[in-house]
Structure 1
Amino acid sequence: MQLTIQNLSKTYSNGVKALDNVSLTIPTGMYGLLGQNGAGKSTLMRTLATLQDADSGTAFLGTSDADNIDVLNDKESIRQVLGYLPQEFGVYPKVAATDLLDYLAVLKGITNSKERKELVAALLQRVNLYEHRKKAVSSYSGGMKQRFGIAQALIGNPKLIIVDEPTAGLDPGERNRFYNLLSEIGENVIVILSTHIVQDVMELCRNMAIIHRGKVLYSGSPLDSVTMLEGKIWQKSIEKAELTRYADQYSLISNKLVAGKPLIHIYSEEAPANGFELAQPDLEDVFFSTISTHA
Structure 2
Amino acid sequence: MFYPRIFSLFLLLSLTLVNSFHLPSVHSDLATRGHLSASPLDPFSDEISGCLIATNNFFKGLTISPIRNFLERDLQTSPSKPFYTPLETITSPPSTPLIPRPTWLVILASLPTGLIWYGYYKFSIEEELFNMELNETGKVSGAGGYGTLIAFSFSFLICLCLRPINEDISTFFFLAGNVWILGSQVNLYHRINELYESKNLPPPLHAWWALLPPPIDVIVGLRQVHFLAKYAANERGLVWERDLVADWMFPWISSERFTLKEFVREPRRWFFFTGKIKDFEF
Q: Which has the higher strand share?
A: 1
TM-score w.r.t. length of structure 2:
0.30
Greater per-residue helix proportion: 2
Larger Rg: 1
TM-score normalised over the length of structure 1? 0.29
